[in-house]
């Protein structure tokens, strides 16, 4: 896939996620001449992109014309300061693609205008290695062509799904946005449990990390869903069944995960105001 959106693309925010997106776009053929980065203090990753591709990167880059798309990869608390100036750069049909957590379409429209095309998306951190999961939601002003542009841009960092009901974004945030942290926490707990059973700490961490990596890769390459994969590992009366009887019990992982996702979704609602 070669990315060609047919106009200037302004990326606002040169943090880890912003640079991961820009790197994915450039690796898939986006012309460096069409990409502009706005950030007062670009990180090391951005400096590498600037040096490699000769991209315009500053706190106020000069654009050849109105951007076709402005991607907002800044922290939510920066919106009030940054967005008013961006309105002046945008054209009537400029699409704003926001990946800021907790910022609803209505909140963004307060700054950008009710008639501005806006897409809200939630990627996650595996986007930094091109294996992210993003979910997008658009306001009524977004055209089918603009949705396709968003799909193209977000597909450069992993998979993408689309929802029409924005209220689902809180659950999306709790499941996929925060999801990598749950896997990391499970890996941590697995290693610590091994240490408690007498394993050398270095070996316990190696076993936990490599096992999680291998299981995730197997799940990615298998046509079976995780339920089937779990059953395939679980021999009747065996060690896995004994362990899963604890994990999947009444007070085990299913109940804890329900509570965790609910807590994450509720916090997402609070951040959205």
* 190 and 143 within one domain: no
Q: What value does the mean pLDDT of the chain take? A: 92
How do beta strands 35-38 and 9-12 pair? parallel
Assigned token pair, 267: 């916090």
> 52, 36, 40: which is closest to 15 by C-alpha?
40
Region for 199 from its dihedrals, namely left if φ exceeds 0, alpha if ψ lies in -120 to 50, beta otherwise: beta
- Residues found in the chain: 273
Alpha carbon distance, N-terminus to C-terminus of the chain? 38
The confidence score (pLDDT) of residue 272 equals 73
Helix (H, G, I), strand (E, B) or coil at 126: helix
Q: What is the pLDDT of residue 126?
A: 92
Q: At what angle do helices 201-221 and 179-196 cross, to 10 degrees?
A: 140
Residue 181: per-residue pLDDT:
96
* pLDDT the model gives residue 59: 87
Residues 186 and 83 in one domain: no
Task: State the pLDDT at residue 136.
Answer: 97
> Is there a domain that residue 53 lies in?
yes
- Do 36 and 106 lie in one domain? The reply is yes
CATH of the domain at 259: 1.10.3730.10
Answer yes or no: do 90 and 129 share one domain: yes
Asked, for residue 4, whether it belongs to a domain, the answer is: no
| Domain final residue pick, 121, 155, 172 | 172
What pTM value is reported for the model? Answer: 0.88
Final residue before a domain boundary, out of 140, 172, 204? 172
Note the helical H segments in 140-252.
144-155, 169-172, 179-196, 201-221, 226-233, 239-247
Domain annotation covers residue 1:
no
Same domain membership, residue 210 and residue 156: no
* pLDDT at 185 (0 to 100): 97
How far apart CA 55 and CA 72 sit, in angstroms, is 17
pLDDT in tens, 201-225: 999 999 999 999 999 999 999 999 9
**Whether residues 108 and 52 fall in one domain:** yes
Q: Which of 108, 141, 172 is where one domain is finished?
A: 172
Strands 56-58 and 69-72: unpaired
Quick one: 42 and 58 in the same domain? yes
Residue 132 covered by a domain: yes
* Distance set, CA 4 to CA 39, 148, 225, 265 (Å): 23, 11, 35, 35
φ/ψ of residue 33, rounded to 5: -65, -20
Q: Are residues 43 and 168 in the same domain?
A: yes
Cα atoms found within 13 Å of the Cα of residue 113, Cβ hemisphere only: 16
At residue 1, the pLDDT reads 59
pLDDT for 160 equals: 96
Q: Which structural domain, as residue segments, surrounds residue 130?
A: 9-172
Same domain, 99 and 37: yes
Cα–Cα dist 172/159, whole Å: 14
In the chain, how many domains are there? Answer: 2
Say which CATH number the domain at 45 has: 3.40.50.720
Q: Do residues 92 and 210 both lie within one domain?
A: no
Residues 63 and 196 in one domain: no
Query: Do 159 and 236 belong together in one domain?
Result: no
Q: Residues in the chain with pLDDT < 70? A: 1, 42, 273
For the stretch 23-35, pLDDT in tens is: 889 888 899 999 9
Structural domain contains residue 3: no
């Amino acid at each position: 896939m070669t990315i060609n959106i047919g106009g200037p693309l302004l990326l606002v925010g040169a943090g880890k996620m912003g640079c991961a997106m820009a790197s994915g776009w450039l690796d898939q053929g986006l012309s460096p001449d069409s990409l502009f980065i706005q950030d007062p203090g670009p990180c090391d990753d951005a400096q590498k992109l600037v040096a490699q591709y000769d991209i315009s990167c500053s706190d106020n880059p000069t654009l050849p014309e109105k951007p076709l798309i402005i991607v907002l990869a800044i922290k939510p608390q920066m919106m009030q300061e940054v967005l008013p100036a961006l309105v002046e750069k945008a054209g009537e049909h400029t699409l704003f693609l926001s990946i800021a957590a907790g910022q609803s379409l209505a909140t963004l429209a307060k700054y950008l205008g009710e008639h501005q095309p806006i897409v809200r998306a939630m990627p996650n951190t595996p986007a930094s290695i091109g294996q992210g999961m993003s979910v997008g939601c658009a306001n009524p002003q977004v055209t089918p062509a603009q949705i396709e542009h968003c799909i193209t841009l977000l597909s450069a960092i992993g998979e993408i799904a689309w929802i029409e009901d924005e209220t689902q974004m809180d659950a999306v945030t709790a499941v996929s946005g925060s999801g990598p942290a749950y896997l990391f926490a499970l890996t941590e707990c697995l290693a610590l449990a091994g240490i408690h059973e007498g394993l050398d700490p270095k070996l316990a961490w190696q076993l936990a990390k490599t096992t999680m990596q291998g299981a995730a890769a197997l799940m990615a390459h298998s046509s079976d869903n995780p339920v089937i994969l779990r059953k395939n590992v679980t021999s009747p009366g065996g060690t896995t069944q004994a362990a899963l009887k604890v994990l999947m019990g009444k007070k085990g992982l299913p109940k804890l995960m329900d509570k965790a996702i609910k807590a994450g979704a509720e916090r997402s609602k609070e951040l959205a105001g």
